[in-house]
Amino acid sequence: MIKKIPGEIWKQMQFSGYKNLRKKYAVSSQGRAASFTESVAKDGKLLNGSLTSGYRTLNLHVEGGNGTIYIHREVAKLFGKKKSTKEKFVIHVNHKKTDNTAKNLKWATLEEVSSHQQKSPLKIAYKKRQANRTEGLKLNATQVKIIKDIIKNPKRKLTYKQLATKYKVSEMTLYRIKSGENWGRIK
C-alpha cells in the first residue's frame, strides 16, 4: 500500500506495448512511479527505478522497444501542457533532474533547453572552474590572443587546419576559441 501525499494525483502511463505487460504502471503529480494490478490505491507498489544520466527511469521489458521510460517525460505528458508542437523536450525548472514533480517540469523547444542549461548552477560552476584552470592546458593566454587575432584578420593566409597543426590543437578547439566557448575571457 502506498502512503498518499496530500493533493497527489495518480495517472496510468500509456506507452508503446503497455497493454502486453503483466502489471500496469502509473506516475503521480509528485513525480513518483508505481506498479499495480487493480488500482494504485489498492495494490500499488512504489518503484524507485534507476538513474540514467541523472534522470530517474523505469526499465520495462516491452516488445519492439528499448523499455527505458523516463519518469519526468511521463509526468510531463500526463500533467503538463504543451503550448506549441515545437515543444518536444522536458526541462526541470529548478535544474534538479530527480525532482519530477509536475510543477517542476516544463515542455520546451530546443532553443529554450539550450538557454535553460546555460543557467544551470552546475554549468555556471563548471565554467568558473574552467576559466580559472591553469594545469593541463595545450595553450596559454598569449597563444590564444595570437590565435584570436589571426582568426579575426580577414586577410589571413592560414586555414583552420593549418592553424590547428601549428598550435597542436584540433580544429574544433579553434572554432570554440572563435565563438568564445573556450578562452572567452581573453580578448
pLDDT for 99-127, tens place per residue? 999 999 999 999 999 999 999 999 888 88
What distance in Å separates the CA atoms of residue 132 and residue 59, rounded to the nearest whole number? Answer: 40
* Residues 29 and 79 sit within 8 Å (Cβ to Cβ): yes
In the predicted model, what is the mean pLDDT of residues 124-133? 80
What is the CATH code of the structural domain delimited by 10-124?
3.90.75.20
pLDDT, averaged across the chain: 90
**Would you list the domain boundaries of the chain?**
10-124, 133-179
61 vs 88, residue with greater confidence: 88
10's grid cell: 495518480
Helix, strand, coil shares of the chain, percent, nearest 5, are 35, 20, 45
AA identity, residue 183: W
107 vs 138, residue with greater confidence: 107
pLDDT band at residue 141 using 50, 70 and 90 as cut-offs: confident
The whole-number pLDDT of residue 9 equals: 95
The whole-number pLDDT of residue 184 equals: 81
pLDDT for 45-76, tens place per residue? 999 999 999 999 999 877 666 788 999 999 99
Residue 140, CA distances (Å) to 4, 17, 37 in order: 58, 55, 63
CA angle in degrees (0–180, nearest 5) for 51-57-60: 125
Residue that is written with C-alpha cell 517525460 in the block = 73
CA angle in degrees (0–180, nearest 5) for 103-123-53: 65
